[in-house]
A and B are shown apart, each in its own frame.
Chain A
C-alpha cells in the first residue's frame, strides 16, 4: 500500500489551483513582539492557507500572498493587536473561479 502521506496532493500543489492577484501592500501584518508572549499561537493551526509559521525565537513568520481573506487569523488571535488585518486593495487578492 502506498504510504498514507503520499495519498494526498502536496499542500503547495493544492494551493496552486487557486488564483491570487498579489497586491503590493501586505493586507496582513503581524507584530511578532506580541506573539513572543503568546502561548497558544492559534493562527498557526487555524489558518486554512497555512500562512503563519512559528519561528525559533518564538515569533511568527507570516505571508499574505496566498490568503483566502477569510478572517480566521484575526478572529482566533489571542494577542491584543498582534494581527492587523484588512481586505486587500480592490481587485487584488484571492479569485475563486468556482467557490
Chain B
C-alpha cells in the first residue's frame, strides 16, 4: 500500500508590509504547517498499520527539500519534490492536485494533507485530489486512525457536533492540527537524511488562475418618496413617523404550544402572508 503525505511548503511567519501589502517570505522560517505535520504523522501511522510505504511529497522550490528531509528523518520511506514555484500561485487547488498526482510514482491508496495551507490556501486541494483519483474524501478531520483494514475518522461539525466516518482506500483525507504531534526524529535518521538525495519530478508548471478585477461593492439605489405635507414641520413629522397610527406591539403569553402556533398563524393571515 502506498500512503502519501502531501505537504505544503510555506512561510509560517510571513511579514506583510502594512503600507504596500507586500508579503516577504523567508526560507528559514518556511516549512510544513502544524496541520501538515499532523498529516505526516497520520500518514506514518497508517503506513505502519497497513504495513505499507509512506511517501512524503510537496510541490515547491529547492528550498522545500529541507521539509522533505525532515519527513525522511521521522520515517517516511521515500520523498518526492515536484518542481514548483517559490511564490504562492493564485489557483484553486486543482493545479496543485494535478501536479501532485503526476509527480507520484504509483497510484496512491491513501493521501493525507493538512486541512489548508498557511499562505491563504482554501483547503480545496484534497478535494481535487479525490476527484482526480476517484477516491472517497474525508476532509477537516480531527481524528484519523487505521482500524481493521479500513480507516476511521472524526470530523468537526457546526454546533459542537461530531461526524464519525468509516471508509476504506482509496481515500483522500485532510486533517486539522488537533491532538496529533509529529514524532521526534531519531538522530541517526536525521544525520542520514541530511545528505539523502531528494528525487525531483518535473510534472509541468502551475497555471495561474485568472481572477477578475475586484470592484468595490455598491448597493443599488432605493428610491424613497419625499414626505407629503405643506409645512416643513409636518414633513419632518412624517419622516419620523411620530404621529402615524400604528399597531402597538402585543405581548402574548400563550399557555400551550398549539395556542402559540395558532396566534402566529393568525398574525400571518392578518397581514396577508398566508391565505
Contacts and interface: CB of A to CB of B under 8 A. Distances in A.
A74 B254 CA distance: 70
Contacts of A24: 181
A70 interface: no
B29 interface: yes
A19 B28 CA distance: 12
Interface in B157-212: 181
A19 B26 CA distance: 13
Contacts of A95: 29
B13 interface: yes
Contacts of A97: 26, 28-29
Contacts of B13: 19
A71 B198 CA distance: 39
Contacts of B29: 19, 95, 97
A97 B11 CA distance: 13
Contacts, number: 7
Interface in B35-78: none
B40 to A, nearest CB: 15
Interface string B10-36: 000100000000000010110000000
A97 B28 CA distance: 9
A24 B179 CA distance: 12
Nearest to A19: B13
Nearest to B28: A97
A97 B13 CA distance: 11
A44 B29 CA distance: 31
Nearest to B181: A24
A49 to B, nearest CB: 18
Interface string A1-31: 0000000000000000001000010000000
Nearest to A89: B184
A90 to B, nearest CB: 8
A95 B29 CA distance: 9
A97 B30 CA distance: 12
A95 B181 CA distance: 20
A95 B13 CA distance: 11
A91 to B, nearest CB: 9
A20 B26 CA distance: 16
A16 to B, nearest CB: 11
Interface string B207-250: 00000000000000000000000000000000000000000000
A31 B241 CA distance: 70
Interface of B: 13, 26, 28-29, 181
Interface of A: 19, 24, 95, 97
6 tightest Cβ-Cβ pairs between the two chains A and B: A19-B13, A97-B26, A19-B29, A95-B29, A97-B29, A97-B28
7 contacts: A19-B13, A19-B29, A24-B181, A95-B29, A97-B26, A97-B28, A97-B29
